[in-house]
Amino acid sequence: MAATVARLRAITRHHSARFESAIPLIASENLLSPYAKELLISDLHSRYAEGLPGERYYEGNEDVDEIERTCLDLARRLFRCSFADVRPTSGTVANLAVLKALTETGDLVGTSRLADGAHISSAGFGAFGLRGVKPVYYPWDAERMTIDVPKAREVLRATRPKTCLFGLSLFLFPMPIDELRPTLEEIGARGWYDAAHVLGLIAGGQFQDPLHEGCTVLSASTHKTLPGPQHGILLAQTEDPELRKKLESGAFPGVTSNHHLHAMAALAVSLAEHLEFGREYARRTVENAQALALALHERGFDVLAEPLGFTKSHTIAVRVEKEGGGAAVAQQLAAAGVIANKNLLPGDRSPKNPGGIRLGSPEVTRVGMGPKEMARIADLFDRLLHRHESPEDVRAAAAELKHDFTTLQYCFAAGEAAYRYYDLVGRDPS
């Protein structure tokens, strides 16, 4: 067994080295700050604290209560809202908590199709199916990569869903909440926003503000554009005691028991850092996504939504059918040291072999890259996929580019040599 442990540690070191020399462009990934990571591996990992601060089912939670109250206060300050719950352990668990709170089995819930960018939790084989709710799909404007508002109004009036979910996994532009809000009020539907991808952009003032545009509740994961731990969160702007109780009950005991105290503490650090650095980080993240999209477009790639400026978020969608399709292109890029993912685009039928790839700027921004580096990344795409240079040569160029960008920015302790992020994992205790 000792050999197995040694092998696992060696694999982890290899993984860290792989990403230290790679260009990570997964839109749903980011890097945790050193101080947040310190709490993630603390004794909190070994403890239980079911319930709310001051109302626990276990003893020994005095410090946990203070940490959680601080986390809740930071969340309410950052998102300018009156309610927060940080007990969901992931974005999908947060979505399940909302479904538990706001719906009953058999209810109709408005959402987008997977091929139009929705997250799998809103599919029949995901959280929707587990809760037993039935999707009502919004008509989609593929040219603008958003809901077709006039047609959506007709569908909503005809079907009258109880809840309407806004939010995507391929999230290029703000959702038309303001435009659809009168229709939701007309049919008596609650607005629900899944902000997993754009949570940090919302907090940084670089995207829409759904809780102040008419949505009842916001659910999210906390490790994408908000560079925190893998965890979940619920937010609402409400003084309705019944709604607050339903959301709290949805989180616990609805879909969680112990809520991963180490991750909750790390989230508190991440929220504090975002209050300090989030506006600049969010601005740079969007700026880099737009710069990368334009650079790819200039090199002949079919970047979606060109008439609208490609994106207003951290995400880019590229149709790569002429380059071989999403699955093949993602594999080629990975072999060349550029990490992306295949992705369904409007009109696609096969999630295993879609026509597109999805790119994101959170991690490259987090380590200090800017528009100049985005142009160099676009060159890597061009060299590999259009000029057909060898993956080995492109991987060497990717590693050269990444060499000066392995230290976290936009966090406390940024720039300290001891906190080179990719050095934090897999080192010998000695």
* Domain membership flag for residue 78: yes
* % residues pLDDT > 70 (the chain): 96
298 and 248 within one domain: no
371-381 vs 391-402: helix crossing angle, rounded to 10: 170
* Domain membership flag for residue 26: no
Residue 430 pLDDT > 60: no
DSSP, collapsed to helix, strand or coil, labels residue 316 as strand
Indicate whether this model's pTM tops 0.85.
yes
Domain end point (choices 220, 240, 271):
271
Domain end point (choices 253, 271, 289):
271
369 and 281 within one domain: yes
Domain end point (choices 229, 249, 271):
271
Residue 418 pLDDT > 70: no
Model pLDDT, residue 217: 98
Confidence band of 124 (pLDDT split at 50, 70, 90): confident
Residues 6+ positions from 96 with CB-CB distance below 8 Å: 88, 121, 127, 130, 131, 250, 254, 255
* Domain membership flag for residue 25: no
Model pLDDT, residue 106: 96
CA dihedral 197, 202, 205, 211 (to 10 degrees): 160
- Report the alpha-carbon distance of residue 85 to residue 235 in Å, rounded: 7
Q: Which residues of 316-355 are buried (b: 16+ CB within 10 A; e: fewer)?
A: bbbbbeebebbbebbebbbebbbbbbbbbbbebeeeeebb
- Report the alpha-carbon distance of residue 164 to residue 176 in Å, rounded: 12
* Domain membership flag for residue 9: no
pLDDT single digits (tens) 326-374: 999 999 999 999 999 999 999 999 889 999 999 999 999 999 999 999 9
Q: What is the mean pLDDT of residues 96-115?
A: 96
DSSP, collapsed to helix, strand or coil, labels residue 63 as helix
284 and 245 within one domain: no
pLDDT single digits (tens) 211-239: 999 999 999 999 999 999 999 999 999 99
* Domain membership flag for residue 31: no
* Domain membership flag for residue 195: yes
Beta strand 140-141 with 146-147: parallel, antiparallel or unpaired?
antiparallel
224 and 148 within one domain: yes
104 and 76 within one domain: yes
Confidence band of 423 (pLDDT split at 50, 70, 90): low
pLDDT single digits (tens) 296-309: 999 999 999 999 99
Cβ neighbour number for residue 93 with a 10 Å cutoff: 22
* Assigned token pair, 135: 């999707």
- Report the alpha-carbon distance of residue 343 to residue 326 in Å, rounded: 7
pLDDT single digits (tens) 48-84: 999 999 999 999 999 999 999 999 999 999 999 999 9
Which amino acid is it at 350? Answer: S
Please choose, from the candidates 281, 337, 286, the residue with its C-alpha nearest in 3D space to the C-alpha of residue 33.
Answer: 281
Cβ neighbour number for residue 392 with a 10 Å cutoff: 11
Model pLDDT, residue 274: 98
Which amino acid is it at 322? Answer: K
Average pLDDT over the chain reads 94
307 and 249 within one domain: no
- Report the alpha-carbon distance of residue 196 to residue 90 in Å, rounded: 9
Sign of CA dihedral 149, 155, 156, 157: positive
312 and 211 within one domain: no
Flag the least confident range among 1-15, 62-76, 284-298.
1-15
Residue 99 pLDDT > 60: yes
- The position carrying tokens 């070191």 is 13
CA angle 47, 49, 51 (to 5 degrees): 165
325 and 263 within one domain: no
Model pLDDT, residue 414: 64
Specify the number of domains making up the chain. Answer: 2
- Domain membership of residue 354 as a residue range: 277-423
CATH number of domain containing 70? 3.40.640.10
Torsion angles phi and psi, residue 85, rounded to 5: -140, 120
pLDDT single digits (tens) 371-413: 999 999 999 999 999 999 999 999 999 999 999 998 899 999 7
245 and 360 within one domain: no
Model pLDDT, residue 335: 98
232 and 95 within one domain: yes
3-state secondary structure 267-303: HHHHHHHHHHHHHHHHHHHHHHHHHHHHHHHHCCCEE
Confidence band of 416 (pLDDT split at 50, 70, 90): low
338 and 242 within one domain: no
Indicate the burial class of 239 (C-beta count within 10 angstroms; 0-12, 13-18, 19 or more): exposed
CATH number of domain containing 300? 3.90.1150.10
Q: Are 52 and 234 in contact (CB under 8 A)?
A: no
* Domain membership flag for residue 82: yes
Torsion angles phi and psi, residue 45, rounded to 5: -60, -25
Residues 6+ positions from 87 with CB-CB distance below 8 Å: 232, 251, 252, 256, 259, 264
Model pLDDT, residue 426: 41
Residues 6+ positions from 293 with CB-CB distance below 8 Å: 303, 309, 310, 311, 316
* Assigned token pair, 67: 């940490």
Residue 40 pLDDT > 80: yes
- Report the alpha-carbon distance of residue 252 to residue 256 in Å, rounded: 5
pLDDT single digits (tens) 148-157: 999 999 999 9
62-79 vs 261-298: helix crossing angle, rounded to 10: 30
* Domain membership flag for residue 14: no
Helix residue ranges, H only, 226-260? 241-249
Residue 180 pLDDT > 90: yes
Model pLDDT, residue 125: 87
70 and 159 within one domain: yes
